Amino acid sequence: MKDRDTDKVELHKLPIRPMQIKGEIKMVPVAELKSGKMDTSIEISDAVVAFLDILGFSERKDDTDIENCLLDFSGPLILASRKYSDVRFNIFSDCAFVSSSQDNADDLLSSIRFAFAEWVSDGILVRGGIAKGTYREINSAAQKMASNNTVCSIFSGSAVVNAVKLEGNSPGALLFTNDKCAEFYNKNYGEPIFSLSELKIIGWSDEIGPLFCFAGLSILRLLKLLSLSLDNESVRLLSLKFINNIQFSHAITSDKFFPWSIISIILSSPVISPSIRKKFLNALKANEDDIYKLNKEDTDHWFNRQDVQFLIASADMDSSIPTSPILSDMINVNKNKLT
């Protein structure tokens, strides 16, 4: 490149030069070129891989919320890794890959279900994709030279690619899968497969406790979102995720009053305005008769639990949704009712 003023060749235009390595430079025949891959690399030709990601993490604003969220996200996976030594866990920031051979696919799903239950109890909603295919962890020759300031985790394979695609294109904090993986779990373990439009879902829990937290968080955060009177495509897509969470909770449990009992309790709060109540019911495509036909006996076993107040407080801790007075007001209302 020529300098415009002097018409001379300018060799160094950038003030900071690349790092220099001292040593001999020589030509190597093409036949002797190597990729640097070590023989100790892990390769699984018949793997199951799950990719997990915290919903709304990039929108969180509060530093304390971000730090606590990351710690609560990684903790259950680390605990699971201590029990299931044949399952591999790669955790980085708000994401994780969990993988195993298909011979240990039951342990993999067991660890994910444990983690999901722990996450919702901490107020964290996580979306996952799970797929079958190939999996490789690559150890390179360069890693042998790595110093303490280097963290390197290199993995690839068809199961990795498909799990990421399933997670990225799916609406809801659910465990999405494809035909191949769904058939595998159904045929080999009798796992029921749920459908959402053309998407397939492997249920992460059928226990009423975790589902209470999961449905309750989704209901409360949907109300919080609707109360902000925002009207754009991002809000619509986020609302759809919460709606799918609620509908999944209803589909997976045999309790005919669930989650309508929780909805009835929350919507009956005096801090929920008629307009927000109407927007919420319209979003669920439900009407007030469906919700309020529940009698006192139907809802007492939810209303008397101290978990309701904790649930409201937990739902308001997520800084990915702008602050709304509704949930903080509901804490005080429910505190008075529960004492």
Tell me what the mean pLDDT of segment 293-318 comes to.
67
Domain assignment of residue 7, yes or no:
no
Tell me what the mean pLDDT of segment 277-290 comes to.
84
Cβ-count burial of 307 within 10 angstroms (0-12 exposed, 13-18 middle, 19+ buried)? Answer: middle
Find all residues with CB under 8 Å of 137, minimum gap 6, and list them: 41, 42, 43, 88, 153, 154, 155
Q: Give the chain's domain count.
A: 2
**pLDDT at position 324:** 73
Helix (H) or strand (E) holding 131: strand 126-137
**pLDDT at position 302:** 52
Domain assignment of residue 35, yes or no:
no
Q: What is the domain range of residue 326?
A: 208-338
Domain assignment of residue 266, yes or no:
yes
Query: What DSSP line would sit under 266-279, residue for residue?
Result: HHTSTTS-HHHHHH
- Between 203 and 294, name the one with better pLDDT: 203
**pLDDT at position 222:** 93
Q: What percent of the chain has pLDDT over 70?
A: 87
Residue matched to tokens 């415009």: 4
Q: Are residues 112 and 213 in the same domain?
A: no
Least confident of 44-48, 196-200, 258-262: 258-262
Q: Are residues 271 and 138 in the same domain?
A: no
Residue whose C-alpha is closest to residue 130's, from 93, 170, 94, 92: 170
Residue matched to tokens 């690619």: 161
Domain assignment of residue 188, yes or no:
yes
- 155 residue type, one letter: F
Q: Are residues 159 and 139 in the same domain?
A: yes
- Between 69 and 235, name the one with better pLDDT: 69
Condensed to tens digits (0 to 9), the pLDDT of residues 101-110 reads 999 999 999 9
pLDDT level of residue 262 (50, 70, 90 thresholds): confident
- What sign has the CA pseudo-torsion 267, 269, 273, 276? negative
pLDDT level of residue 197 (50, 70, 90 thresholds): confident
Q: Are residues 331 and 220 in the same domain?
A: yes
Spatial distance between the Cα atoms of 203 and 226, rounded to a whole number of angstroms = 27
CATH code: domain of residue 180: 3.30.70.1230
- Between 106 and 31, name the one with better pLDDT: 106
Tell me what the mean pLDDT of segment 229-248 comes to.
87
In a 3-state reduction of DSSP, which class is residue 263?
Answer: helix
**pLDDT at position 192:** 94
Tell me what the mean pLDDT of segment 280-284 comes to.
90
Residue whose C-alpha is closest to residue 132's, from 183, 193, 168, 89: 183
Domain assignment of residue 155, yes or no:
yes
pLDDT level of residue 52 (50, 70, 90 thresholds): very high
Q: Are residues 219 and 187 in the same domain?
A: no
Domain assignment of residue 12, yes or no:
no
Condensed to tens digits (0 to 9), the pLDDT of residues 113-157 reads 999 999 999 999 999 999 999 999 888 878 878 888 888 888 899
**Is the pLDDT confidence value at 237 over 80?**
yes
Q: Are residues 213 and 315 in the same domain?
A: yes
CA triplet 20, 36, 51: central angle to 5 degrees? 105
Q: Are residues 69 and 172 in the same domain?
A: yes
In a 3-state reduction of DSSP, which class is residue 331?
Answer: helix
**Do residues 46 and 108 make contact, with C-beta atoms less than 8 angstroms apart?**
no
Q: Are residues 175 and 86 in the same domain?
A: yes
Of 158, 182, 202, which closes a domain?
202
Q: Are residues 215 and 95 in the same domain?
A: no
**Is the pLDDT confidence value at 327 over 90?**
no
**pLDDT at position 202:** 96
**Is the pLDDT confidence value at 205 over 90?**
no
- 58 residue type, one letter: S
Of 168, 202, 236, which closes a domain?
202
**pLDDT at position 339:** 47
Backbone angles phi, psi at 306, to 5 degrees: -65, -15
**Is the pLDDT confidence value at 229 over 60?**
yes
Q: Are residues 213 and 321 in the same domain?
A: yes
Find all residues with CB under 8 Å of 10, minimum gap 6, and list them: 1, 2, 3
**pLDDT at position 171:** 93
